[in-house]
Chain A
Amino acid sequence: MSDGGGSVTELTPRLSAEEQAALKDVWAVYERHYDEIQEATLAAAEADPHLRALLAEQRAGQHRSDPAASRRLLREALQEGRWEGLLESLREQGGYYARLGLPFSSWFVVVTAAQRVLLNRLFETHAADPPRLLAAITALGIFLFDVTLAAIGDEYLRTRESVIEQQQAAIQELSTPVLPLRPGLIILPIIGTIDTGRARHLTEHLLEGIRAYRAKVVVMDLTGVPAVDSAVANHLLQTVRAARLLGARTVVTGISTQNAQTLTRIGVDLSGLITTADLQGGIEEAEWLLSSLRAERGATAVDATGSAAPRGD
């Protein structure tokens, strides 16, 4: 999930020489008390309901994280000032846990647990040298919050956004079904607001539907469209015209009283459209159109009873 948009370099902290030096102190303390910190963070994670569930799952499956590797990355960053590996790994983890649905707040639980131990040990180690202690504490804060949580948070946002995008696409796909009613007749119920993107999708969907079902008449139902303004009307006109290029007539139904008044007030010309008040009327109109086609064709082949029996063509 580390593709696109923000790169790792964007997140790389700009540290002064003093801060980078102070981070070495932090690393020294971290390294010395590694086991204690691991214990403390694990205990904190066990206390957090979301993390506990996740840890149990991970134990059941294969353990994903590699403590030795993350320790090496941490040393590279804190000791040597090489952040790329660590940031990449943080983002990867952020994306992974975001997809698992772990709340971002759980990260604070872990980070503050580590911070507590580190602060205690830093105080012990550098009690005799307050300026050095202060520098180390400041550097620790930068490292934990400005770097670690920022990198994870960044990836969280990115992951969530991509989930939202996927869901929007799914909703769009679901919300424009093309329903075959009988041979030659399909219904396109439109529900929800129509914007340019959706209008495009809708038109493409309908055109494919016309071809797939060999439709001669389309009933486009707008009962579920809350507002029809001039932009929406133009989109719909385009859809109707595109359908006609494939040889299909379109009956537009379900324009509400309010929408009808809006359209006439703003002067949108819909005179080229066949419109009916409701879906029922639209289907009746469509049947009439179809049966007139069928009766004409039937004059040469079968008797024109106007029955709705499917033709074998």
Chain B
Amino acid sequence: VAVPILKQGSFLIASVQSALTDAEMVELRSSLTERVSRHRSRAVIVDVSGLDVIDSFTARTLQDLTRAVRLKGAQAVVVGIQPQVAFAMVQLGLFLEGVTTALDLDEGLGLLMQREARVHAGE
């Protein structure tokens, strides 16, 4: 597998270390979605801090992933988009609508734990 997927409690963490081909990106989407069912995960974090470029295909696949994971009752957070990557993305009109984002893995985990806490508090 090109991208290691770690299981951390009820979260899955996929850390993209280097540029992925379209096929690898699709594989990541499928295997993450599949593992959400297998591990009954509550959330998925995709760390893209290793990417120098996020093109339209990657952006769309991340959006698809978010939707697919959500259909299984879990959440998805994309973390670690580099400033210059973010700048290039908005220039290309890639805004990742509907995708939750966070600065890095730490913030992403914090965000998810807050949401979990809110769910448990019955809000």
Instruction: Give residues in B with beta carbon < 8 Å to A.
Output: 79, 81, 83-87, 89-91, 95-96, 101-103, 106-108, 110-111, 113-115, 117-118, 121
6 closest A-B pairs by beta carbon, nearest first, are A207-B83, A247-B102, A296-B114, A245-B86, A242-B86, A238-B90
Question: How many residues on the A side are at the interface (Cβ–Cβ under 8 A)?
Answer: 25
Q: Which stretch (A116-124, A187-195, A208-216, A224-232) binds chain B?
A: A208-216
A249 CB, min distance to chain B CBs, angstroms:
10
A148 CB, min distance to chain B CBs, angstroms:
48
Chain A residues, CB < 8 A from B114: 293, 296-297, 299-300
Given contacts A246-B83, A293-B114, A313-B110, is CB(A210)–CB(B103) below 8 Å?
A: yes
Q: Please measure, in the bound complex, the distance between the C-alpha atom of A60 and the C-alpha atom of B60, giving whole angstroms.
A: 69
A219 CB, min distance to chain B CBs, angstroms:
17
Interface of A is mostly: helix
Chain B residues, CB < 8 A from A299: 114, 117-118, 121
A175 within 8 A of B: no
Given contacts A238-B91, A248-B103, A313-B110, is CB(A210)–CB(B83) below 8 Å?
A: yes
Is A245 touching B79 in the complex (CB atoms < 8 A)? no
A299 CB, min distance to chain B CBs, angstroms:
5
Q: Which of B86, B107, B115 contacts A207 (CB 8 A)?
A: B86
Is B117 touching A300 in the complex (CB atoms < 8 A)? yes
Chain B residues, CB < 8 A from A204: 83-84, 87
Q: Please measure, in the bound complex, the distance between the C-alpha atom of A299 and the C-alpha atom of B122, giving whole angstroms.
A: 12
Q: Which of A242, A246, A300 contacts B103 (CB 8 A)?
A: A246
Is B90 touching A241 in the complex (CB atoms < 8 A)? yes
Q: Please measure, in the bound complex, the distance between the C-alpha atom of A244 and the C-alpha atom of B90, giving whole angstroms.
A: 10
- Write out, one digit per residue, whether chain A residues 272-313 have a CB within 8 A of any chain B CB (1) or not (0): 000000000000000000000100110110000000000001
A300 CB, min distance to chain B CBs, angstroms:
5
Q: Which of B87, B107, B115 contacts A247 (CB 8 A)?
A: B107
Q: Please measure, in the bound complex, the distance between the C-alpha atom of A207 and the C-alpha atom of B84, giving whole angstroms.
A: 8
B4 CB, min distance to chain A CBs, angstroms:
22
Closest to A293 in B: B114
Chain A residues, CB < 8 A from B84: 204, 207
Chain A residues, CB < 8 A from B115: 296
Q: Please measure, in the bound complex, the distance between the C-alpha atom of A203 and the C-alpha atom of B84, giving whole angstroms.
A: 10
Chain B residues, CB < 8 A from A246: 81, 83, 86, 101, 103
Q: Please measure, in the bound complex, the distance between the C-alpha atom of A216 and the C-alpha atom of B114, giving whole angstroms.
A: 14
A288 CB, min distance to chain B CBs, angstroms:
15
Is A242 touching B87 in the complex (CB atoms < 8 A)? yes
Q: Which of A207, A214, A216, A297 contacts B117 (CB 8 A)?
A: A297
Q: Please measure, in the bound complex, the distance between the C-alpha atom of A280 and the C-alpha atom of B85, giving whole angstroms.
A: 32
Among A200, A216, A245, the most chain B Cβ lie within 10 Å of the Cβ of A245
Closest to A203 in B: B87
Closest to A245 in B: B86
Is A300 touching B113 in the complex (CB atoms < 8 A)? yes
Is A296 touching B118 in the complex (CB atoms < 8 A)? yes
Is A211 touching B83 in the complex (CB atoms < 8 A)? yes
B41 CB, min distance to chain A CBs, angstroms:
19
